[in-house]
Amino acid sequence: MFTDDKNDFIKNWAIAGIIFLSLIAVAVTIYFISMILITDKTELLKKYEYIIESLKVLGLFISGGAVIVNVYFAGRRAEAMEET
Protein backbone atom coordinates (compact mmCIF):
# COMPACT_ATOMS: atom_id res chain seq x y z
CA MET A 1 0.00 0.00 0.00
CA PHE A 2 2.72 2.49 0.89
CA THR A 3 4.94 1.64 -2.08
CA ASP A 4 2.37 2.96 -4.55
CA ASP A 5 1.95 6.15 -2.55
CA LYS A 6 5.70 6.57 -2.28
CA ASN A 7 6.17 6.05 -6.03
CA ASP A 8 3.44 8.58 -6.76
CA PHE A 9 5.05 10.97 -4.30
CA ILE A 10 8.43 10.64 -6.02
CA LYS A 11 6.86 11.08 -9.46
CA ASN A 12 5.02 14.20 -8.32
CA TRP A 13 8.22 15.72 -6.92
CA ALA A 14 10.07 14.82 -10.13
CA ILE A 15 7.41 16.60 -12.16
CA ALA A 16 7.56 19.60 -9.81
CA GLY A 17 11.35 19.67 -10.18
CA ILE A 18 11.13 19.61 -13.96
CA ILE A 19 8.60 22.46 -13.92
CA PHE A 20 10.78 24.46 -11.52
CA LEU A 21 13.88 23.99 -13.68
CA SER A 22 11.89 24.96 -16.77
CA LEU A 23 10.77 28.17 -15.09
CA ILE A 24 14.36 28.95 -14.10
CA ALA A 25 15.42 28.34 -17.70
CA VAL A 26 12.77 30.81 -18.85
CA ALA A 27 13.98 33.38 -16.31
CA VAL A 28 17.59 32.96 -17.43
CA THR A 29 16.53 33.33 -21.07
CA ILE A 30 14.64 36.53 -20.24
CA TYR A 31 17.74 37.76 -18.40
CA PHE A 32 20.01 37.25 -21.40
CA ILE A 33 17.51 38.65 -23.89
CA SER A 34 17.10 41.74 -21.72
CA MET A 35 20.88 42.17 -21.62
CA ILE A 36 21.00 42.07 -25.42
CA LEU A 37 17.98 44.28 -26.15
CA ILE A 38 18.05 46.87 -23.36
CA THR A 39 20.90 49.33 -23.36
CA ASP A 40 19.52 51.65 -20.68
CA LYS A 41 20.89 50.46 -17.34
CA THR A 42 17.94 51.66 -15.23
CA GLU A 43 15.49 49.63 -17.30
CA LEU A 44 17.81 46.66 -17.08
CA LEU A 45 17.92 46.91 -13.28
CA LYS A 46 14.12 47.06 -13.15
CA LYS A 47 13.95 43.87 -15.23
CA TYR A 48 16.43 42.14 -12.90
CA GLU A 49 14.43 43.16 -9.85
CA TYR A 50 11.25 41.89 -11.50
CA ILE A 51 12.84 38.52 -12.31
CA ILE A 52 14.27 38.17 -8.79
CA GLU A 53 10.93 39.02 -7.18
CA SER A 54 9.17 36.55 -9.49
CA LEU A 55 11.58 33.80 -8.45
CA LYS A 56 11.01 34.64 -4.78
CA VAL A 57 7.25 34.32 -5.21
CA LEU A 58 7.73 31.06 -7.12
CA GLY A 59 9.88 29.74 -4.28
CA LEU A 60 7.18 30.66 -1.76
CA PHE A 61 4.54 28.81 -3.79
CA ILE A 62 6.74 25.73 -4.12
CA SER A 63 7.59 25.66 -0.42
CA GLY A 64 3.92 26.14 0.46
CA GLY A 65 3.02 23.28 -1.85
CA ALA A 66 5.66 21.10 -0.21
CA VAL A 67 4.15 21.82 3.22
CA ILE A 68 0.67 20.92 1.96
CA VAL A 69 1.93 17.67 0.41
CA ASN A 70 3.76 16.73 3.62
CA VAL A 71 0.67 17.41 5.75
CA TYR A 72 -1.46 15.33 3.38
CA PHE A 73 0.88 12.33 3.54
CA ALA A 74 1.25 12.67 7.32
CA GLY A 75 -2.53 12.46 7.57
CA ARG A 76 -2.58 9.39 5.34
CA ARG A 77 0.07 7.72 7.49
CA ALA A 78 -1.89 8.54 10.64
CA GLU A 79 -5.03 7.01 9.14
CA ALA A 80 -3.12 3.88 8.15
CA MET A 81 -1.69 3.57 11.66
CA GLU A 82 -5.17 3.84 13.18
CA GLU A 83 -6.39 0.97 10.98
CA THR A 84 -3.66 -1.40 12.19
2-35 pLDDT, tens digit each: 445 666 777 777 888 888 888 888 878 877 777 7
**Contact at 8 Å (CB) between 27 and 55?**
yes
* pTM, 2 dp: 0.44
Domain count, the chain: 1
List b or e across 24-45, with b for residues whose CB sees 16 or more CB atoms inside 10 angstroms.
eeeeeeeeeebeeeeeeeeeee
For residue 27, the enclosing domain spans 2-83
Distance CA 80, CA 84 (A): 7
